[in-house]
Amino acid sequence: MLKKRSGILAKHCCLFSFTLLIIAAFILGKGVTPAIAAKKVDVQKAIVSLVDINNATQKELEGIKGVGAATAKKIIAGRPYKSVDELSKAGIKPKAIDAMKPFVTVGNAPVAPVTEKATKAVTKATAPVTAAATDLTNATNKVKTTTKSAAAKLVPGTKININTADQTMIEKLPEIGPVKAKAIIDGRPYNSIEDVMKVKGIKGKTFDAIKDYIVVK
């Protein structure tokens, strides 16, 4: 009888202990889960709040742990950066850079807008080249004009047969251009040099200028 009671009591003790273990596990599990979740949220917040050293404002940079106004100005002056370690070129010490790494990131540097000052500088720089090109063009045109005038000038004593000469040759006569030269050709034949005055525009001053250079043989 006593042995039977001892067995029942032992069973009750085991059941009670097992129940306590389940309760303890539940309580501990409930406490650990929120802690892990909170830690995960903190990590996510840290990732989201990373400060971009290439684009952050002075105020945002000053919000980084260990960064003051002077350091923030140095960071801005040294932009752009390809990596956080390049902060050293802005005069930031390695120890300070290591301290900032968990809180910063490196984004693409913004494209600097073309300022009015830069535009004026480019214009000023290209002005001499433009002027030189203009001078060269003017000089070339002057040479062409001079060459044409020299070619058109006939040697005294030269005679051009206005009944047989081609347009290029007739254009060499004084006061005669392409239009008048074609008109002279269209008015052929001529029995005398005076007949050329029947052509429109070949009268008075123009005829006087060409009469010593033309023949009708």
77 belongs to a structural domain: yes
59-68 residue pLDDT tens: 999 988 888 8
| More confident call, 153 vs 32 | 153
- Model's pTM, two decimal places? 0.33
Confidence at 150, pLDDT banded by 50, 70, 90: very low
Mean of pLDDT values over 48-57: 87
100 belongs to a structural domain: yes
- The number of angstroms, rounded, from the C-alpha of 82 to the middle of its chain's C-alpha atoms is 21
10-44 residue pLDDT tens: 666 666 677 777 776 666 655 545 555 555 545 44
Judged against a pLDDT cut of 90, whether residue 166 lies above it is answered with yes
The DSSP symbol for 104 reads E
Total structural domains in the chain? 2
Give me the pLDDT at residue 43, please.
47
The pair phi, psi for residue 51, each rounded to 5°, is -95, 125
| More confident call, 34 vs 190 | 190
196 belongs to a structural domain: yes
Range of the domain at 171: 160-215
79 belongs to a structural domain: yes
The span from the CA of 161 to the CA of 142, in Å, is 31
Residue found by looking up tokens 């000089």 in the block? 139
144 belongs to a structural domain: no
Confidence at 45, pLDDT banded by 50, 70, 90: very low
Question: Among residues 87, 105, 123, which one ends one of the domains?
Answer: 105
Q: Which two tokens stand for residue 120?
A: 């004026």
Helix (H) or strand (E) holding 52: strand 51-52
75-128 residue pLDDT tens: 999 999 999 999 998 889 898 899 989 999 998 876 655 566 667 776 777 777
